Amino acid sequence: MDNSDKEFLETYSSESFEKPSVAVDLLIFTIHEGQMKVLLVKRTKSPFKDMLALPGTFVGIRESLDEAVKRVLKVKAGISDELYFEQLFTWGDVDRDPRMRIIAVSYLALVPDKMLVKLLGGSFDEVMYPVSDVVSAAGKLAFDHRKIIEYGRERIKNKTEYTNIAFELLDGPFTLPQLQDIYEILLDRPLYKANFRKKISNLVEETGEQVLEGAHRPSKLYRRKNDL
Amino acid sequence: MDNSDKEFLETYSSESFEKPSVAVDLLIFTIHEGQMKVLLVKRTKSPFKDMLALPGTFVGIRESLDEAVKRVLKVKAGISDELYFEQLFTWGDVDRDPRMRIIAVSYLALVPDKMLVKLLGGSFDEVMYPVSDVVSAAGKLAFDHRKIIEYGRERIKNKTEYTNIAFELLDGPFTLPQLQDIYEILLDRPLYKANFRKKISNLVEETGEQVLEGAHRPSKLYRRKNDL
DNA sequence: CAAATAGTGTCTTTGAGACACTATCGT
DNA sequence: ACGATAGTGTCTCAAAGACACTATTTG
């Protein structure tokens, strides 16, 4: 460190350069029983006491953003498996937290519901909220978290159109009707079965197995083909 | 502020919760003389003394991210006009700055070269660097700024495919060959003239004027049609 | 007229969309 | 047989891509 570095640090560390805090907030999405659901925690303290909020944490001084995200996934949802997550947007409005200046880096994580049910067990329904419910009911969500959820939902929708992100919500073999359900929920519109199958046919391969779940033709099981 | 708030703030403000710094870094892009160019400043101090870096600033404690961006645009490029900018990505690796922990929120701004030439005058060529030059020459750029530039270039390329972002690089009337040039540079591939014109025909309207610039048929001037 | 760039017409190919059909199960 | 869901065949239409043509200028 040379002299100009020292100078810089002294100037920067002075009181006039008060620093904002940095947090990560997570959108942990899954598809369960025909709905998109998001993990929310009930706040126990003011501000926004008793309201719902996204799980998050402050970013440690020796911790990257991704590490902070993984820490939240582990602590708040018990997830230590590798799973899909991506950075969404960084929210920096001055008054987004009434207590102090907090800049929030939001992340989107997609988790197969099977995995969440296994991890959360009976408390699954207590922490996973249908997205359409929480964004339509005003006043339920703390801070600017409603805006963040809507932003995230829009992002998944768009990425579903031009990527294979939807597969991240599946764990193990699946049927094409199951896959189509996920696409329809993410895109929020019905799809023609035949066209859908044409489109994803080169992404999947049959396992050879079938599942029979009712008085009708059984459906074949597929797995995701090794990405090209 | 109630008791739990006070408690929170006391805990959080203690030494064990050292805060990272937050900065914004800007990618100020333009198209000039057939090339994509980016504004870079030469560092006068260690670390990375004499190397090139993106313009940026620390985010003030009572300043939103967007306000910090506008401040940089004004101070480093003299731009006070309204122009297109969007948030790109937030870079949070622990060691991205050797002096201290800095989390950088990167932004992408598109500026018509006409505007920059007017503002910067003769120093235009001293601060606007061809993107392909600076990303290919290793060791020219400070910090992780090379990675940020490549990320930004990729983002523009993608958005050019499915948005009308390219128009942000034009100021006032333009010819279709000019517009096509911009698209080809952003997309980094040649386009068929007839197809290109079909695609953008509903976005533009003739001004009635023409420009004659050589021994060949003059080209018509267009303006952007009011967005639908 | 030739050289140069601006601008248009049209054929082919690809893929999205719509819809009708067949297949396989339980009762 | 019938109700229910799985799975397929094929027509239409719009857009992307490729290419050849015409138009207007200067020298």
CB pairs under 8 A between A and B: 93
Q: Which nucleotides of D are covered by protein (CB under 7 A)?
A: 3-10, 16-20, 23-27
CB contact under 8 A, B45 and A5: yes
Give the confidence band of B8 by pLDDT, cuts at 50, 70, 90. Answer: low
CB contact under 8 A, B12 and A59: no
Q: What is the pLDDT of residue A46?
A: 84
pLDDT in tens, B87-126: 999 999 999 999 999 999 999 999 999 999 999 999 999 9
| Cα distance between residue A197 and residue A124, in whole Å | 32
Q: What is the pLDDT of residue A125?
A: 96
Residue type, A126: E
Residue type, A206: E
B42's CB contacts (< 8 A; 6+ apart) are: B50, B51, B52, B53
| Cα distance between residue B24 and residue B63, in whole Å | 12
CB contact under 8 A, B59 and A5: no
Judging contacts by C-beta atoms under 8 Å, the chain A residues touching residue B108 are: none
Element (H, E) at A30: strand A21-32
pLDDT > 70? residue A207: yes
Token couple for B16: 């064990």
| Cβ contact A175 with chain D strand, < 7 A | yes
A26's CB contacts (< 8 A; 6+ apart) are: A39, A54, A55, A56, A69, A72, A73, A76, A85, A106, A107, A108, A109
Whole-number Å distance, CA B116 to C1' C9? 40
Whole-number Å distance, CA B176 to C1' C1? 29
pLDDT in tens, A112-167: 999 999 999 999 999 999 999 999 987 789 999 999 999 999 999 999 999 999 99
Average pLDDT over residues B68-72: 97
Smallest CA–C1' separation from A216, nucleotide: C25
| Cβ contact A218 with chain C strand, < 7 A | yes
Are A27 and A149 in contact by the 8 Å Cβ rule? The answer is: yes
Q: What is the pLDDT of residue A147?
A: 97
Nearest residue in chain A measured CA to CA from B62: A94
Mutation target for B interface from A103, A107, A163: give the one with most B CBs within 10 A. Answer: A103
pTM: 0.93
